[in-house]
Amino acid sequence: MARLELSNLHAKVAEDDGEKILDGVDLEVFSGEIHALMGPNGSGKSTTAKVIAGHPAYEVTDGEVLLHLEEGDFGEDFEIAEDKRTWNLLELEPNERAALGIFLGFQYPAEIEGVTMTNFLRTALNAKLEEREELFEDDDAEDEAEEEDVGYETSPMEGNVDEGEVGVAEFQQLLQEKMEQLDMDSKFAQRYLNAGFSGGEKKQNEVLQAAILEPSIAVLDEIDSGLDIDRLQDVSKGINALRDEQGTGVLQITHYQRILDYVEPDHVHVMLDGKIAESGGPELAEKLEDEGYDWVREQVYETA
Amino acid sequence: MSTQVHANLTREQVEQISADLDEPEWLTETRVEALEALDDLDMPDVIRTPGRDWTNLHALDFETLVDPLNAAEDKDRVSDEGIEVLEWSEALAEHGDLVEEHFASVVDPEENYLTALSTALFSAGTVIYVPEGVDAEDVKIRTQMNSRSLFNYTLVVTEESSSVTILERQSTGDDVEGERYYSGIVEVVAGENSRVQYGALQNLDEETYNYTLKRGHADTYATVDWIEGNIGSRLTKSSVETYLKGDSSETKTVGAFFGHDDQHIDIAARVWHQGEHTTADLVTRGVLDDQARSVYEGVQDVGTDAWDTSSYQRENTLMLSDESEADASPKLIINNHDTEASHSATVGQVDAQDLFYMTSRGVHPQVAKNMLVEGFFVPVLDEVDVDELRDDLEELVAERLRE
């Protein structure tokens, strides 16, 4: 079981005199759990998500982001050595964090012209598997393994070395399956990544990518914004499937109670001025929906 | 004109080149006149910004670049049924009248210093003649340059309701110590309701200076399409131009370049709308890495009588390093208000948000960048329907990214 742990996390915009945004965030997400992170605009929700994934626009000034893993988190055949069970994510590149099972669903997914969904996702999946191997490789065995790699490349039995662990045909099948589950039109597979997609299609595509990459922890930044009710249900179904079928832990950032009717959270957190101000169960979200954030603010500053 | 080549370039040499090709008197005279005009001619125009000539052609040392009597090359010409793809002396022998009628009818030899130099000295020539009603594909002219300097000339004539697709490519064969010069002039005469698609892929070695002028005249209902790929050379000065003379004539120019190290790429796409109901679409995309520089000029000139004109121009340059430089100037000159036109140019870097999106999904940053660059060329490559050109351009881009 994986556990994402944010402790005393402070971050600012990465420039001279950059604005301080996170002011001591403490949060823990286990795989298999669904957390909702709510709060008014500008409270630091999106920044939290981006810092977890390693966005270069933010600089962490204090605190930690740790990922704790257990044997079996990457399948039965994947051995996780004891000294490689806790990772300081802040020391890792975004692609290395992805390899360890972190996924960020973007509020505004990039539109990438000229790169098909299929090509991108297969590249990402293979890169993730390859990077993971490297991260967990026994340090002593590294040199040996490299020699072996060279041997593979020249072996006529290996076929195309660019192929990666998941071949084209295998990937096509996987993609098609996941698209069907999400009720997505198969024509999206050959379209350029998010290019010309509607707002809803982009969000659906984020969930699809999570389904393919099978993250341990998925941080979904306002996945519900800009969705009509039908699409909201499709997307919600996808998020529930991540948890139920893959055991993914979900940290869902949202403004609205609406999606929580479909994706029932185990925990709800309210963020205010760069900190978690209040945590509770699903009933907290309902209270926020009815009463807004003012009472949280009052409560925090009265006790302070 | 202060740049001189005359010290090692004489009338006798020009006459010898002409005699070796069994040329008629009119052509020898044209060459000699071009030689004699050199003194009074200027270099082709270049883009100037305050304090700077972006492409300094005056700095070229023609003394050492030009070796008039050595024009070693390997040329491979591939023809198609029903048309003629002839080397120069053969073309003069079999179609002397046709050559005389059209030679220098599109590009004036004395237009500038470099066209005159090319006219005086060219020894490698090709004539592509497409008779009325014939449809031809897969014409290829592959030139491998083995000498210090090479002057190339191509004439394309299509008669009424014919069509042809041509791929011309330049690369370097034998090594020559020091710098080199390649010059190419292409004239296209597209007859009524005919279609010419002319693709070029320049991949000369990076010691070679390259001057190229390609120009077409489109008659009524004719189409002249260009594909202009530039990967090689130390410096390229290239212009691709169409005169839409006939009513309802069309042109599309698709350009792609990729400069690295200290390559300098100066390209222009120009169209003159002269007939009525004419359409032009100019699309260019380029990538620069290291200290490479690019200069782009796009001109859409709508004439007084060019009623009902449609004219579109887009240029995008992507810079992969902070040391690369680019200048782009799209120009739109409208003398007839009955015109629908657009023009735009952008210069930018790889988008940091795009990059983060891709790396956050597990893709290595270098791989992500390569995918973005390859993706950047896709809209241009999609417009290229000469398979060999598209595939090779794609491959050359991929190779350069992984050097």
Nearest CA in chain B to A130: B362
Is residue B128 in a domain?
A: yes
User: Averaged over A223-230, what is the pLDDT?
Assistant: 89
Q: What is the mean pLDDT of chain B?
A: 93
Least-confidence region, from A181-185, B271-275, B387-391 = A181-185
pLDDT digits (tens, 9 = 90+) for B217-271: 999 999 999 999 999 999 999 999 999 999 999 999 999 999 999 999 999 999 9
Given a contact cutoff of 8 angstroms between Cβ atoms, the answer to whether A63 and A8 are in contact is yes
Is residue B364 in a domain?
A: no
Rounded to the nearest angstrom, the minimum Cα separation between A209 and chain B is: 8
Could you give the number of structural domains in chain B? 1
What is the structure's pLDDT at B267? 96
Q: Which residues in chain A are contacts of B350 at CB distance < 8 A? A: none
Rounded to the nearest angstrom, the minimum Cα separation between A231 and chain B is: 23
Predicted confidence band of residue A258 (pLDDT cuts 50, 70, 90): confident
Beta strand B208-218 pairing with B235-244: parallel
Q: Which domain holds residue B292?
A: 6-349
Q: Which residues in chain B are contacts of A98 at CB distance < 8 A? A: 359-362
Q: CA–CA distance from B288 to each of B48, B320, B347 (Å)? A: 20, 6, 10
What is the structure's pLDDT at B52? 75
Q: Which residues in chain A are contacts of B376 at CB distance < 8 A? A: 113-114
Is residue B93 in a domain?
A: yes
Is residue B397 in a domain?
A: no
User: Averaged over A219-246, what is the pLDDT?
Assistant: 93
Among A92, A115, A134, which would you mutate to test the B interface (most chain B Cβ atoms within 10 Å of its Cβ)? A115
* Secondary element (H or E) of residue A205: helix A199-213
Predicted confidence band of residue A149 (pLDDT cuts 50, 70, 90): very low
Is residue B188 in a domain?
A: yes
Is residue B245 in a domain?
A: yes
pLDDT at B349 over 70: yes
Residue A264's region, left for phi above 0, alpha for psi from -120 to 50, else beta, is: beta
**pLDDT over 90, % of chain A:** 72
Question: What is the Cβ-side half-sphere exposure of residue A226, based on CA atoms within 13 angstroms?
Answer: 15
Rounded to the nearest angstrom, the minimum Cα separation between B291 and chain A is: 26
CA–CA separation, A131 and A150 (whole Å): 17
Nearest CA in chain A to B381: A114
User: Do A127 and B356 count as a contact with CB atoms less than 8 A apart?
Assistant: no
Q: Does B78 touch chain A (CB under 8 A)?
A: no
pLDDT digits (tens, 9 = 90+) for B199-208: 999 999 999 9
Ordered by where they begin, the domains of chain A are: 3-154+165-303 (3.40.50.300)
pLDDT digits (tens, 9 = 90+) for B166-193: 999 999 998 888 899 999 999 999 999 9
Tell me the β-bridge partners of B182: B150, B210
**pLDDT over 70, % of chain A:** 91
Is residue B78 in a domain?
A: yes
Give the number of other CB atoms < 10 A from CB of residue A187.
8
Tracing tokens 């209040």 back to the chain, one arrives at: A278
Predicted confidence band of residue B45 (pLDDT cuts 50, 70, 90): confident
Rounded to the nearest angstrom, the minimum Cα separation between A164 and chain B is: 13
Q: Which residues in chain A are contacts of B362 at CB distance < 8 A? A: 95, 98-99, 124-125, 127-128, 131, 213
Nearest CA in chain A to B373: A114
Q: Does A93 touch chain B (CB under 8 A)?
A: yes
User: Averaged over B94-123, what is the pLDDT?
Assistant: 96
What is the structure's pLDDT at A164? 81
CA–CA separation, B267 and A96 (whole Å): 41
Written as six digits, the tokens of B260 are 């690295």
* Distance of alpha carbon A56 from the chain centroid: 16
Given B352, B361, B378, which is nearest A124 (Cβ)?
B361
pLDDT digits (tens, 9 = 90+) for B136-150: 998 999 999 999 999
Given a contact cutoff of 8 angstroms between Cβ atoms, the answer to whether A14 and A245 are in contact is no
CA–CA separation, B157 and B187 (whole Å): 8
User: Do A97 and B378 count as a contact with CB atoms less than 8 A apart?
Assistant: no
Nearest CA in chain A to B350: A112
User: Do A115 and B374 count as a contact with CB atoms less than 8 A apart?
Assistant: yes
CA–CA separation, B12 and B14 (whole Å): 5
Is residue B87 in a domain?
A: yes
